[in-house]
Amino acid sequence: MKIRLLAGPFALLATAAALTGCSSGDESDSASGPQKVTVWVMKDSVTDAFLDRFTKDFEKQHDRVDVDVQVQEWDGIGEKVTAALASKDAPDVIEVGNTQVAQYAASGGVADLSDRVSDLKGGDWLPGLAEPGRIDGKQYGIPWYAANRVVLYNKDLFAEAGITKPPTTRDAWLADTKKLNKGKVQGIYLPGQNWYTLAGFIWDEGGDLAKKTGGKWEGTLDSPEALAGMARYRELQALGKGPKDSDEAKPPQADVFAKGDVAQVVAVPGGAKIVEQANPALKGKIGFFPIPGKTADKPGSVFTGGSDLIVPEASAHPEAAYEVVKALAGTKWQSDMARTMSYVPNRTSLAKVLAGDEGTAAMAAGAAQGHATPNSPEWAAVEATNPIKEYMTAVLTGTDPAKAARTASQSITKTLNP
């Protein structure tokens, strides 16, 4: 067993295991000893305990391959992965952010795993993980885990307002928020530049942030559907005192919610722990529900964050690498990881493993309606300047929405077509 610590003094310890290679190419060098399959896992993605369980299980079942798991820092990982994919000595499996797959596929060196999708139960994958891993009809990224935003609410404030259960439709959500918004209580704290939440409203209306037509990407914030999503965001945002010119980090919305006079925020479930640390009196008083959709039969659309697994074309042991991916993406370890890390599993049918936890269960319900940002290798450059945030502030401070949307769409189009 190999143990590596490559990400500095605060990195997770990554353990390793053994598994059996399958292809003739892998077998050619196995006669002289076990193959070594190198796996890059990002810092804090999983715990030492999870890695230990995983590797021990592999060692019981496979004895011809050593898996060398190396923990990587997120800072600077883009350049490091791109360089590795271009080398002849690439790792065999790499964890990447789900929205980074297009960038790496465009740079070259990522194996096309389309013929493995059926074997991996791809028909059941969360769309927000599967879609960004699929470029021009080819599956490069294999979904590993997901996380998305839900509504965190103050149970005491809901009870005081006479609201006995969370809303399940957008109209009911808006009505409840208006009812909560009395006196010193903010019905919702929604910063003006929370563009991930806006994206969900746009997707619910059938719009998108950008679309590819005839080989060219175009910003689409000025479409009727996207403008309808912005109108909904504007209506909801007005029911609180969230700043119109900043996002959820300025000020940290967990600190705002912790004061006890805010009824709702949109955040990942783990945000509740931060709130409770800031105000222990709220412990046990925070509830969760999926962002409501247009109708009660399904939640609203959400941005799905998370990770995919890729196999470099330069992998020395592609079949053994695939077996690692298959195990990590399979039912046993997906279920274990979901319980350990409170992540959403990569398959919709596995959401039931989170049924005992209110926050992660709400997140899993929302994940079934998950989406990713536009699948362009240049999208990271859009986020770097983020004209969407500027657009939102402009609309919320009185600029004509159609005019502001055209300006933002033109900026997105320019960036996506360098």
Q: What share of the chain is helix, strand, coil (3-state, %, to 5)?
A: 45, 20, 40
The predicted structure's pLDDT at residue 376? 94
**316, amino acid identity:** A
- Of the candidates 136, 92, 88, the one whose C-alpha atom is nearest the C-alpha of residue 114 is 136
| Structural domains of the chain in order of their starting residue, each with its CATH number | 17-146+305-371 (3.40.190.10), 150-303+375-416 (3.40.190.10)
> pTM of the predicted model, to two decimals?
0.84
Calpha distance 342→362 (Å, rounded): 11
Which tokens is 377 given? 């290798």
Calpha distance 289→271 (Å, rounded): 14
The predicted structure's pLDDT at residue 366? 95
pLDDT tens-digit profile, the chain (418 residues): 333 333 332 232 232 232 223 333 444 444 456 888 999 999 889 887 888 888 888 777 878 878 889 999 988 999 999 999 999 999 999 999 999 999 999 989 999 999 999 999 999 999 999 999 999 999 999 999 999 999 999 999 999 999 999 999 999 999 999 999 999 999 999 999 999 999 999 999 999 999 999 999 999 999 999 999 999 999 999 999 999 999 999 999 999 999 999 999 999 998 998 999 999 999 999 999 999 999 999 999 999 999 999 999 999 999 999 999 999 999 999 999 998 888 999 999 998 898 888 999 999 999 999 999 999 999 989 999 999 999 999 999 999 999 999 999 999 999 999 9
Give the number of other CB atoms < 10 A from CB of residue 167.
18
